[in-house]
Structure 1
Amino acid sequence: MSVTDRSERVTGLPEFRLLWSSQSLSVLGTSVSRTAIPLIAATALAASPFQMGMLQAALGLSYLVLGLPAGAWIDRMRRRPVLIVCDLGRALLMVTLACAALLDRLTFPLLLGVALLLGAARTFYEVAYQAYIPAVVGRDRLVEGNSRLESTNSASQMAGPALAGALAQAGAAAAVSVQAVSYAASLLLMRRIRKPEAVPVRGPAANMREEIKGGLSFVLTHPLIRPVVGSAATYNFFYAVQAPLVLLLLVHEVGLSEAGAGVLMAVGGVGGVLGAASAGRLARRLGQVRVIRLAYLMAIPTVLLIPLAGPSWRMLFFAVPWFTAAYGLVVYNVAQVSFRQALCPDHLLGRMNASVRFLIWGIIPVGGVAGGALGEWAGVRGALLIAGVGMTSGALWLLSSRLRRLRDIPEQTGPPANRG
């Protein structure tokens, strides 16, 4: 059978098409939330740089608190029901915010509380869906499956900020109502997946602490996974420093409206879509390991130009690196996620994903608070420059490890998996 036959492609699988459609709507809601909630805080509630940092921290705090237990729990249960419950919870949270806005009861503490709960739901959702993908597409089609899913992540990053900006300008209630609808539609599509999912067998001596330790140990001791996680954690910390300041740069210093800022940020989504479309081809041509380091090295350093952004033609100093970094980051993400999934045994997938999320996303709250404090101390542009230098330094993990000599995934790597 030809490798181009429809039955050989993930898009020929009805279960994958449903998962892809559901995930697309869910990440659209998340992408709108990540821009709309800070925009509502910055405009409707006149939040300070430090409050913006707190909000960024709240959105990521759950990775630090719940990330490791989430992996152990998810390895004990079927993944699809977890995805459904997460979408339901987020839809209800958006309805709560919409009602508060309509009743003129929207406050910063309420926004902060909703951000914390949204972060918790996102933690469980992302750990579960990355553990669910191999069961739907098989390990031989992980790069293709992850490329398709990443393409919708990128499309959401393109549409989400622009949509969030337009909706935030129309009012907080409009912004969050659209997110509630997207999560509800995602839930309904996920419920339509009929492929049986085996219930993981839990041994009689299973212990939460030992299970968490087993997953974390696998990630931290694996000679090829550890440097990938280190580079991603470094990038995410300094991205979190950058994130609460970007909107302040565009709205307060460049002078854009909420809608204008959202449209400009959407160029990152364009870069991401193109990155997702080319990730599989680049991995085949350059090698799945080589493309991880090349994508990082060639794209991420461009963020050093962002502090130079200003009105008129100087907006190119934001748009070009925002586009380029998003393109490279998506290629990097497709390659490294598929790389990790291919190296990890089935029984550790949930805990591996959770351990990685704990390490690379759990650091975001610290970065968010640091970004807010840096913005107060060094000014928005100074803090953005520090963030750019830090994000670029993540490449050192890749260049100082065995990954720098590899083209593709080796046949056998690392120590035996701990079954704890």
Structure 2
Amino acid sequence: MAEGWRRDFNFVWAGETASLVGTQVYQLAMPLTAVLTLDATPAQLGLLGALTFAPYVVLGLPVGVLVDRRQRRGVLILSSLGQALSIGAIPLLAALDLLTFGRLLALACAAGTARVFFTIAYRSYLPAIVPPEHLTGANSRLTASESVAEIGGPGLGGALVQLVGAPFALLVDAVSYLASALGFSAVRKREKAVLADPAPLRSQVTQGFRFTFSSAYLRATLGEAASYNLCWQIVLTILTLFAVKELDMSPGTLGVVLSVGAVGALLGAAFTDRLAHRVGLGRTLVIAAVIGDLAPLLLPVAHRGTWAAPLLAFAFFVQGFGITACNVHTMTIRQTVTPERLLGRTNAAYLFVALGMKPVGSLLGGWLGTHLGLRGALVVGTVGLLSTSLFLILSPLRTVRTLDSLRPEPPEEARTATPTSTP
């Protein structure tokens, strides 16, 4: 039995690792395609980022209910294929000299739509194939893979952009989603049978919000995540333009900087479980969040010259360590306190708020970059990050020592809701 879940998880892990590498290439090559190929302005970069994440706001809630009504493995396979097709169309259009900023926006939105289905189904799928006592370890491995991808992906992306051009580097991401689809296809364990829920869609969506906001634990982690995403997206929206225009960095150098910074994320994923056992879960969350919030303050003080790249790399290194160490535990907390039958709609409500801040941050970053300049926008975003850890500091989570001490806090409606799957 143990070997069975390990085999399935390893296939998922391998496919997701390939996808994560591709995603890192995408995150560097996509804005570089806009900047270097289409000469995008700060406002256009903000619009690109907003449309990438807008599907979470528009579709996230009903998708959460749909995920609870479907076998999640099938959703994951189809959404991976959808992302492969959407992203793969960009280099094809570039090769035909048909790529415009409008078409880039449309394809980014299409890929984001498929990603909504993938993200919500994926976060609800892991507990179906991994025993509860192994969830933290599984999340740590996946987070470690994300960190490894962050180390190798940007460097690979930067090199590919310089060798073949930004649009054609996106082929790596398209192929990686095919690997992800194959990984999920290889899973043998089938999920429990899904039963129809007679409750109206609005009622089921409300259950996800009600459960999320009734839990002091989820309120704290959601507040931290949403405010962090808002401020960090301001930074990310203009970071590529800032590095290329203000710091005179080549795509290859920028990729190396991000790769070196991602080593911190790998260390955060590797040591956060051990740190939590030593000092307690709550203290680990707070310490990690504060570290991750402070480091980006170095970004706006960077100036063109020899020390620009090392300074940015150090800032990303420390930020990656803190935020990754925090994220491993917040994801496990959410999976632990949420009943399985509510995972899809609760994840949808959670992501609706948390990721819904990203398009707002993108538009705000583009506006700030236009009116305050690139450095001024960085100052606003990085200073704003300082407030995000307060959600954890002022919550009951700061005194929690282990996952065993956490208990679900569902409202009465959630406890008596008609189950959407067999118990």
TM-score (norm 1): 0.94
Cα distance in 2 between the residues matched to 1:86 and 1:412 = 33
Cα distance in 1 between the residues matched to 2:273 and 2:390 = 24
1:143-182 alignment runs, 5 A limit: 143-169=136-162, 170-182=164-176
Say which of 12, 23, 29 aligns to 1:19: 12
Cα distance in 2 between the residues matched to 1:114 and 1:37 = 11
Letter of the 1:334 partner, please give it.
V
State yes or no: 1:414 paired with 2:370: no
Say which of 218, 224, 230 aligns to 2:223: 230
Q: Residue 401 of structure 2: SS of its match in structure 1?
A: coil
Work out whether residues 290 and 408 of structure 1, in 8 Å CA contact, stay in contact via their aligned partners in 2.
no
* Offset, 1:343: 0.4
Residue in 1 that maps onto 2:347 = 353
Q: Residue 289 of structure 1: SS of its match in structure 2?
A: helix
Cα distance in 2 between the residues matched to 1:306 and 1:413 = 39
Q: Residue 75 of structure 1: SS of its match in structure 2?
A: helix
Cα distance in 2 between the residues matched to 1:12 and 1:279 = 24
Say which of 236, 250, 254 aligns to 1:261: 254
State yes or no: 1:326 paired with 2:326: no
Say which of 174, 182, 186 aligns to 2:180: 186
Number of residue pairs matched?
Answer: 412
Cα distance in 2 between the residues matched to 1:39 and 1:199 = 45
1:4-403 alignment runs, 5 A limit: 13-169=6-162, 170-203=164-197, 205-310=198-303, 311-403=305-397
- Structure 2 unaligned runs (5+)? 419-423
Runs (4+) off by over 4 Å: none
Work out whether residues 91 and 183 of structure 1, in 8 Å CA contact, stay in contact via their aligned partners in 2.
yes
Cα distance in 2 between the residues matched to 1:300 and 1:39 = 26
Cα distance in 1 between the residues matched to 2:177 and 2:74 = 14
Letter of the 1:414 partner, please give it.
E
* Offset, 1:12: 7.4
- Structure 1 unaligned runs (5+)? 1-6
Compare 188-197 and 400-409 and name the one that shifted more: 400-409
* Offset, 1:368: 0.2
Letter of the 1:166 partner, please give it.
A
Letter of the 2:409 partner, please give it.
G
Compare 194-203 and 74-83 and name the one that shifted more: 194-203
Letter of the 1:15 partner, please give it.
D
Deviation track 1:346-396 (CA, whole Å, cap 9, x = no partner) reads 101111111111111011101100001101111111111110111121011
Cα distance in 2 between the residues matched to 1:133 and 1:179 = 23
Letter of the 1:392 partner, please give it.
L
Compare 263-272 and 218-227 and name the one that shifted more: 263-272
Residue in 1 that maps onto 2:421 = none
